[in-house]
Amino acid sequence: MIAIPDELTTTMARFGDKGRAWLRSLPPIVDEFVDRWSLTLGSPFPASYSYVTPARLRDGVSAVLKVNFVDRENVHEGEALRRYEGRGAVRLLDADDEAGVLLLERCEPGTRLSQIEDDEVATAIAADVIRRLWKPVGAGHPFERVSDRARAWAASVPEEFERLGRPFDTDLAERASALFAELADSSDEAFLLDQDFHHYNVLAAQREPWLAIDPKPLVGDRAFDLGALLRNPGPQAFEGRDPGRVTARRIDQLVEALGLSRERIVGWA
């Protein structure tokens, strides 16, 4: 029997019958892949949207077994990692894409980038890693496009704004909607993007000093891919500092390091 982390049980309860059915299916799925890949498992990492646990292969190599609750965001996680080929991200050792089961290279010691206190140092590391992840994608990929997503977001902003009880100035909501549409229509870049690149998804490792995990791949404008980083870590990390100034300095640093348009980075974020 496997131990299920509390946060995973809590998140899955929010998905009702579908979440509970997935939780019930988890032990046999894990058993099946332990058998198929000859794994020995350790205690699971705390994670809310997937079952993630350290594993050891028969030859003693350390790995991580990840079982996703497959959804629109993570359905192509394996394909993204395959295409990264270990450059800036963990290697995909094996996978069953349809079942959402991934066998990953393990990052050791696995310290999160969020542990780096000096924000300038953390931002420099993040820029180095994300630069390695971005690669142009040709035709025939399975990923959704940022521009299509952004057009849908543009259309959904007014409705969401009402649904949430108009939480801020109407002007701001209108600007957000217009920006999504504008950004969607003003770039034809087609890079493989991570979409979930932030301080909790970059871990200290050996093969490269830091490696990304957990991509939710899309294809499009690189400037889009800095949004998650700029919104993280949460406000608690800014304690005693002016969040506006920290963010402005991060943006300066990212523009300088990556040579992308400041306007587009700020717009997407």
Ligand X SMILES: Nc1ncnc2c1ncn2[C@@H]1O[C@H](COP(=O)(O)OP(=O)(O)OP(=O)(O)O)[C@@H](O)[C@H]1O
By a kind-dependent CB cut-off of 5 to 8 A, residue 49 interacts, out of ligand X, Mg ion, none, with ligand X
Q: Which is nearer to ligand X, 196 or 221 (CB)?
A: 196
Is residue 187 a contact partner of residue 260, using CB atoms and an 8 Å limit? no
CB of 106 to ligand X, least distance (A): 4
Q: Is 48 helix (H, G, I), strand (E, B) or coil?
A: coil
CB of 81 to ligand X, least distance (A): 10
Which one of the spans 124-132, 163-171, 195-203, 232-240 is the region binding Mg ion (CB under 5 A)? 195-203
Q: Which is nearer to Mg ion, 39 or 90 (CB)?
A: 90
Question: Is 214 among the residues that bind Mg ion (CB under 5 A)?
Answer: yes
From 39, 226, 260, 195, select the one nearest 126 (Cα to Cα).
226
CB of 80 to Mg ion, least distance (A): 14
Which one of the spans 25-33, 57-65, 201-209, 257-265 is the region binding Mg ion (CB under 5 A)? 201-209
CB of 87 to Mg ion, least distance (A): 19
* CB hemisphere CA count around 246 (13 angstroms): 22
- Confirm whether 196 is a catalytic residue: yes
Which residues here bind ligand X, judged by CB under 6 A? 45, 47-50, 52, 64, 66, 90, 104-107, 110, 200-201, 203, 213-214
Please give the torsion angle defined by the CA atoms of residues 125, 65, 78 and 51, in that order, rounded to the nearest 10 degrees. Answer: -90
Look up residue 228 and give its two tokens. Answer: 């998650």
CB of 90 to ligand X, least distance (A): 4
Number of residues that bind Mg ion (CB under 5 A): 2
Residue 243 burial (C-beta neighbours within 10 Å; 0-12, 13-18, 19+): exposed
Could you report how far apart the first and last alpha carbons of the chain are, in Å? 42
Contacts for 231-237: CB closer than 8 Å, 24+ residues apart: 231/198, 231/269, 232/114, 232/198, 232/199, 232/200, 233/114, 233/198, 233/199, 233/200, 237/114
Which one of the spans 97-105, 113-121, 207-215, 247-255 is the region binding Mg ion (CB under 5 A)? 207-215
By a kind-dependent CB cut-off of 5 to 8 A, residue 107 interacts, out of ligand X, Mg ion, none, with ligand X
Q: Which is nearer to ligand X, 64 or 219 (CB)?
A: 64
Q: What are phi and psi of 185, to 5 degrees?
A: -90, 0
Look up tokens 């509390």; give the residue: 6
Of 196, 214, 221, 225, which residue is the catalytic one? 196
Residues in the site for Mg ion, rule: CB under 5 A? Answer: 201, 214
Residues labelled as active-site residues: 196
